[in-house]
Amino acid sequence: MESEEKNFSELIENAMRVKGFTVEKLAQATGISDRFIEYIVEGNLKKLPSSPYVHGYVLRIADALSLNGEELWQEYFQKNQDIKHSDRADELPGNHFRGRSINKNIIIGGVILIIIAIFVFWRVQSHVGEPSLSLSDFKDEMIVEQKTFDLKGKIDPRDQLTLNEEIIYPDVNGNFQKTLSLEPGFNTLTFKVKKFLGDEYIIKKQIFLKVATSSKEKVNNTSPTSQLETTTTYNGTE
pLDDT, tens digit, for every residue of 146-185?
999 999 999 888 888 999 999 998 998 889 999 999 999 9
Closest CA to 47 of 56, 60, 38, 58: 38
Residue 5 pLDDT greater than 90, yes or no: no
Q: Tell me, which fold does domain 133-215 have in CATH?
A: Immunoglobulin-like (2.60.40)
Q: How far apart are CA 36 and CA 31, in angstroms?
A: 11
Query: What digits encode the pLDDT tens for the residues 109-131?
Result: 888 888 887 876 655 555 556 67
Q: What is the percent of the chain where pLDDT is above 90?
A: 17
Average pLDDT of every residue of the chain: 76
Query: What average pLDDT does this structure show over 48-70?
Result: 83
Q: How confident is the model at residue 74 (pLDDT cuts 50, 70, 90)?
A: confident
pTM: 0.38
Query: What average pLDDT does this structure show over 54-77?
Result: 83
Q: How far apart are CA 59 and CA 76, in angstroms?
A: 12
Domain ranges of the chain: 2-84, 133-215
Please name every residue paired with 177 in a beta bridge, in sequence order, or none if there are none: 152
Please name every residue paired with 133 in a beta bridge, in sequence order, or none if there are none: 155
The answer to whether the CB of 26 falls within 8 A of the CB of 16 is yes
Decide if domain 2-84 falls under CATH 3.40.309.10: no
The answer for residues whose C-beta is within 8 angstroms of residue 92's C-beta and 6 or more apart is 49, 53
